Amino acid sequence: MPAPFMFSALSQAKLGTCHPHLRTLFLEVIKHVDCTVLEGHRSVLDQDKAFHEGRSKLRGGSSKHNMTPSMAVDVAPYPIDWNDRDRFLLFVGFVKGVAAQLGIRIRCGADWDGDGTTTDQTFHDLPHFELI
């Protein structure tokens, strides 16, 4: 039996800016795997910043993070280790499984086309999950 994990107040606030399906999904995920919400809704200004810093391929206004409620969320396994790519991929697989179980259709930045391989893409956004 895994430890009962909980989102921090900050993670909860960020998740609160997201579509109910994303909230349902990650409230289920956190029961099994500790994780942290990096970003839910993102302003158009912050989206442009993300674009210029190369963290996103989309300009302000065109990301699912810019919608209200946010149709995208960035979540990372906790504690975060950006060098441990395998851990991110395990997490993404787990999230996909839970989403399938709940009947929630998502697209992941680790596998944009959803074909189950990560080697066929050039832009990896490992913590990114969005509703289809």
Smaller CB separation from Zn ion, 74 or 111? 74
Q: Which is nearer to Zn ion, 25 or 72 (CB)?
A: 72
> E strands along the chain, which residues?
35-39, 72-77, 106-108, 128-131
Contact characters 70-89, Zn ion, x per CB under 5 A: --x-x---------------
The single-letter DSSP state of residue 39 is E
Residue nearest to Zn ion (CB): 128
Give yes or no for residue 64 binding Zn ion (CB under 5 A): no
Residues sharing a CB contact under 8 Å with residue 1, sequence separation 6 or more, in sequence order: none
Q: Residue 96 or 128: which CB sits closer to Zn ion?
A: 128
Report whether the peptide linkage leading into residue 79 is cis, meaning its omega lies within 30 degrees of zero. yes
Exposure string (b/e) for 72-87, b if CB count within 10 Å is 16 or more? Answer: bbbbbbbeeeeeeeeb
Give the Cα separation of 107 and 110 in Å (integer): 9
Question: Total binding residues for Zn ion by CB under 5 A?
Answer: 3
Residue 4 beta carbon to Zn ion: minimum distance, rounded to whole angstroms: 27
String of contacts with Zn ion for each residue 113-132, x by CB under 5 A: ---------------x----
**Interface positions with Zn ion (CB under 5 A):** 72, 74, 128
